[in-house]
């Protein structure tokens, strides 16, 4: 696919295009970050307000140790995998949209 020649491309250079571009990507990033931060900042709160629950033994670990020392890593991998899948799809859609608009003009 050859890159489109955008020399005087009104679609790409319009204010609305930039706004929607940044808004869509940022909202995806913020949604992923919010999930991550909820877990990251939530765990100390659970430790603080529910110490007995978090001290429950699970296969020798305390629940809190198991979450932080082991389970947190795969959790973050899942978020990053979700983000990359959707962010790449988003970019492809943007490129397709721009080309579609140009063909119409």
Partner 1 sequence: MPTVPLFALIGGVDPWIFTFSFLTVAVTIWMGFRSARTSKTASDFFVAGRSVSVGWNASAISGEYLSAASFMGVAGMVMSSGYDALWYPVCYACGYLFLLLFIAGPLRRFGAYTIPDFAEGRYDSPIFRKIAVCFVLFIGFFYTMPQMKGAGVTLAYIFPGLPYWAGVVLVGAVITLNVALGGMKGITLVQAFQYWAKMFAISVPLFVVMAVFGFYNGHVAANVAYGETPAVAGSGPGIERQALPAKAPQDNAWIAPFGPLTTKAVNAAAAALPAAQRAAYLAEHQRPYSLLYTYSLIIALVCGTAGLPHILVRFYTNPDGVAAKRTTMWVMILIGIFYVFPPVFGVIGRNLMPELYTGVGAKGTDKIVLELPTLLGARFGVLGSILSGITCAGAFAAFMSTFSGLLVSMTGALAHDVYGRMLRPQANQKERLVAFRTSAVLVGGVAIGLGCFVEPLEINFMVGQAFAIAAASYFPLLFMSVWWRGMTMKGAAIGMLTGGLCALFAAALTNFSTLALDKGPMGKLFSGFAPLNAFWAQHPLLRILSEQPAIWTVPLAIGLMVVISRATAHQVPGDIRMKMLVLHAPENLGLKQEYIKEHQAEAAH
Query: Which of 15, 16, 103, 105 is in the footprint of partner 1 by CB under 8 A?
Result: 15
Buried-exposed string 80-100: b where 16+ CB fall within 10 A, e elsewhere? eeebeeeeeeeeeebeeebee
Angle CA 45–49–53, to nearest 5: 100
Site map (CB under 8 A) of partner 1, residues 65-94, x = contact: x--xxx-xxx-xx-xxx-xx--xx--xx-x
Q: How many CB atoms lie within 10 A of CB 67?
A: 18
* 63 is a site residue for partner 1 (CB under 8 A): no
CA distance 43 to 3: 47
What residues make contact with partner 1 under the rule CB under 8 A? 1, 3-7, 12-13, 15, 18, 21-22, 25-26, 29, 32-33, 36, 40-41, 44, 47-48, 51, 54-55, 57, 59-62, 64-65, 68-70, 72-74, 76-77, 79-81, 83-84, 87-88, 91-92, 94-95, 98
């Amino acid at each position: 696919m050859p890159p489109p020649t955008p020399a005087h491309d009104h679609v790409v250079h319009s204010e609305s295009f930039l706004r929607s571009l940044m808004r869509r990507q940022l909202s995806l990033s913020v949604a992923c970050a919010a999930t991550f931060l909820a877990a990251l900042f939530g765990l100390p709160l659970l430790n603080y307000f529910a110490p007995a629950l978090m001290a429950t033994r699970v296969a020798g670990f305390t629940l809190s140790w198991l979450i932080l020392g082991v389970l947190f890593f795969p959790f973050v991998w899942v978020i990053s995998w979700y983000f990359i899948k959707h962010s790449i799809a988003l970019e492809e859609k943007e490129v397709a949209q721009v080309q579609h608009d140009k063909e119409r003009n």
